[in-house]
Amino acid sequence: MLSARELKTFRKQLLGWFRQFQRDLPWRRTRDPYRIWLSEIMLQQTRVAAAIPYYERFLERFPDVRALASAPQEDVLRLWSGLGYYSRARNLQKAAQQIVAKHGGEFPALLEDVLALPGIGNYTAAAILSIAFGEKHAVLDGNVARVLSRLGAIRGDLREPRRWQALQKTADHLLESKLPGDWNQAMMELGATLCTPRSPQCLLCPVAQFCEGRKQGLAESLPEKRKKRATVVVTLAAAIFADGKNQTLLLPPPKNTKEKALADHVPTLVSQMWHFPTLSVSGDAAEELLAHLHKFIPRSAKPQWKLIAAAKVRHAVTYRFITLLPFLIRVKRLPLIAGAKHLPLDDISQFPVSNLTRKAARAALATAAAVAGKH
Ligand code: SF4
C-alpha cells in the first residue's frame, strides 16, 4: 500500500502519461455508453487493431441501442462474422432488447441494472459506468491484474478468488475518484502498451518508481503462470455439397431439440452459426458422415454420393483443438434439407458463418478445382 503522498504522485504521473501518450481510438472520442459498451465487448477477445473496422461497420449499421435491438439476429451475426466468440454478439443484442424493454432505450446508469444485462460482468460494467457516467468503479481484468501483480510483486494464480478480490481492493484503492473513467483507461493503457505480458518497458513506465516487481527483478516473470486446462482434441467431418454451378448448402443454427440433436457434439463455434452438415467423428470419418447425412435425407431417396476428401482444416480455440475434415460431394441437384439455404460455395459469407466454416469452404473449392483440372 502506498502512503497518501505516494498515492497522489502515482495518480498524477499515470494520468499525465495517459493524457500525453494515449492511443487515439474511436471509442475514446465518445461518452456514449452504447459505443463504449460495444467497444468493451469487442475488445474482450479481440486485439484493438482488429476490432476497429468491426466497430465502425457495426455502428454504421446499428448506430444506437434501438437499431441493434430491432435488427434481425442474422444481420448482427453477419457483422460480427470473423470476430469469433459469437455469444458476445447474441448477448449484445439480447441486452439491447432488454434496455429498450426495461429502460426505454436509455443505457442504465445503475450498477445493478447494468450487471443484470446479459454478457456484462463486473469488469465491463465498471468500464462503461466510469467512462460514460463518471461513476467510481475501478476496472479489473487480466490486463489490469497483470499491472497490479507487478506493482505489488504479487505471486500465485491471480484468478484464485481470494487473490482476485484482493486485487479488486487494490484497484479500488488506487482509483482516482475525480476522474474514474480516465483513470481506468490509463490503467488499461499501461497494461496494453508498456506493462505488456512479455518484455514490459519499465524504462518508459510513468510509475516505475513504485513498482515492487521491477525492484525485485520479477517484472517479466509476473504474473505467475496459471495451471493449464487440459487440451481437448475434437475431430469433425463436414459435408460440402457442390452442384454443377458450384452452389452449396448451409444449415442454420439449430432452433429446436430435434435440430440440436442433429448438431450434437459439434462445438457451438460451428453449430451456432450457419454451417455445413457437420458431425464429430471418432472412426471412419467418411462413413460416419454418410450415416449422419442419411438422417437428414428421406430414406427413400437413397443417394449414391461419393465423398472426396479435401485438405484438413485446423483451428484452436482456448483449450479446444479442432481438426475438421471437409468432404466435397459433387451432386447434380443439391439435396432438399429442411431449413437449408443454397448459395455459391465461393461466397458463403453472405450468411453468418464461423472462420472454421470459411476455411472448410476454401479447402473444398481447392479440391473442386483440382478435380475439374483432371477431367
Ligand atoms: Fe509494469 Fe515495468 Fe511499470 Fe512495473 S515498472 S508497472 S513492470 S511497466
Å from CA of 227 to ligand 1 middle: 24
Domain membership of residue 111 (yes or no) is yes
Give the separation between CA 202 and CA 244, rounded to whole angstroms. Answer: 61
Same domain, residue pair 214 and 312: no
Same domain, residue pair 91 and 170: yes
Q: Is 211 in the pocket of ligand 1 (CB under 6 A)?
A: yes
Q: Is 151 in the pocket of ligand 1 (CB under 6 A)?
A: yes
Measured by CA distance, the residue closest to atom 4 of ligand 1 is 211
245 falls in which pLDDT band (50, 70, 90)?
very high
Average pLDDT, the chain: 91
Give the separation between CA 229 and CA 20, rounded to whole angstroms. Answer: 40
272 falls in which pLDDT band (50, 70, 90)?
confident
Mutate to test the pocket of ligand 1, among 205, 209, 218 (most ligand atoms within 8 A of CB): 205
Å from CA of 142 to ligand 1 middle: 15
Last residue within a domain, chosen from 221, 241, 261: 221
Same domain, residue pair 298 and 317: yes
Q: Which residues contact 105 (CB under 8 A, 6 or more apart)?
A: 64, 65, 66, 69, 99
211 falls in which pLDDT band (50, 70, 90)?
very high
pLDDT top residue among 1 and 147: 147
Last residue within a domain, chosen from 221, 254, 277: 221
- CATH code for the domain in which residue 346 is found: 3.90.79.10
Measured by CA distance, the residue closest to atom 7 of ligand 1 is 219
Mean pLDDT of 331-354: 90
Does the structure show a pLDDT above 70 at 258? no
What's the pLDDT score for residue 319? Answer: 79
Å from CA of 185 to ligand 1 middle: 16
Same domain, residue pair 101 and 239: no
Same domain, residue pair 257 and 186: no
Measured by CA distance, the residue closest to atom 5 of ligand 1 is 208
**Do residues 189 and 18 make contact, with C-beta atoms less than 8 angstroms apart?**
yes
Same domain, residue pair 329 and 363: yes
pTM: 0.72
Burial of 136 (0-12, 13-18, 19+ CB in 10 A): middle
Per DSSP, the residues of 25-59 read -GGGG---HHHHHHHHHHHTSS-HHHHHHHHHHHH
Same domain, residue pair 133 and 55: yes
Model pLDDT for residues 290-305, shown as the tens digit of each residue: 988 888 776 666 678 8
What's the pLDDT score for residue 94? Answer: 96
Domain membership of residue 186 (yes or no) is yes
Same domain, residue pair 51 and 101: yes
What's the pLDDT score for residue 201? Answer: 97
Least confident span in 21-35, 56-70, 125-139, 337-351: 337-351
What's the pLDDT score for residue 271? Answer: 65
Q: Which atom of ligand 1 is nearest to the CA of 222?
A: 7
Domain membership of residue 194 (yes or no) is yes
- Name the percent of the chain lying above pLDDT 90: 75
What's the pLDDT score for residue 299? Answer: 62
Mean pLDDT of 257-270: 59
Domains of the chain: total? 2
Same domain, residue pair 190 and 261: no
Does the structure show a pLDDT above 80 at 148? yes
Measured by CA distance, the residue closest to atom 1 of ligand 1 is 195
Active site residues: 40
Domain membership of residue 226 (yes or no) is no
Task: Give me the long-range contacts of 216-220 (CB less than 8 A, separation at least 24).
Answer: 216/153, 218/150, 218/153, 219/150
Instruction: From residue 252, give the alpha-carbon distance in Å to each of 94, 122, 277, 291.
Output: 19, 33, 10, 20
236 falls in which pLDDT band (50, 70, 90)?
very high
Does the structure show a pLDDT above 70 at 375? no
Mean pLDDT of 320-328: 93
Domain that holds residue 210: 4-221
What's the pLDDT score for residue 296? Answer: 76
Domain membership of residue 227 (yes or no) is no
119 falls in which pLDDT band (50, 70, 90)?
very high
- CATH code for the domain in which residue 62 is found: 1.10.340.30
Å from CA of 150 to ligand 1 middle: 6
What's the pLDDT score for residue 266? Answer: 65
Q: Is 218 in the pocket of ligand 1 (CB under 6 A)?
A: no
What's the pLDDT score for residue 263? Answer: 57
Strands 247-250 and 307-309 come out as unpaired
**Do residues 338 and 256 make contact, with C-beta atoms less than 8 angstroms apart?**
no
354 falls in which pLDDT band (50, 70, 90)?
confident
Q: Which atom of ligand 1 is nearest to the CA of 204?
A: 8
What's the pLDDT score for residue 88? Answer: 94
Same domain, residue pair 194 and 252: no
Q: Is 202 in the pocket of ligand 1 (CB under 6 A)?
A: yes
Q: How many CB atoms lie within 10 A of CB 51?
A: 22
Model pLDDT for residues 157-186, shown as the tens digit of each residue: 999 989 999 999 999 999 999 999 999 999
Give the separation between CA 17 and CA 186, rounded to whole angstroms. Answer: 8
Does the structure show a pLDDT above 60 at 285? yes
Last residue within a domain, chosen from 169, 199, 221: 221
Same domain, residue pair 207 and 236: no
Mean pLDDT of 71-79: 95
Domain membership of residue 305 (yes or no) is yes
Model pLDDT for residues 51-73, shown as the tens digit of each residue: 999 999 999 999 999 999 999 99
Same domain, residue pair 206 and 243: no
Domain membership of residue 58 (yes or no) is yes
Å from CA of 64 to ligand 1 middle: 38
Domain membership of residue 38 (yes or no) is yes
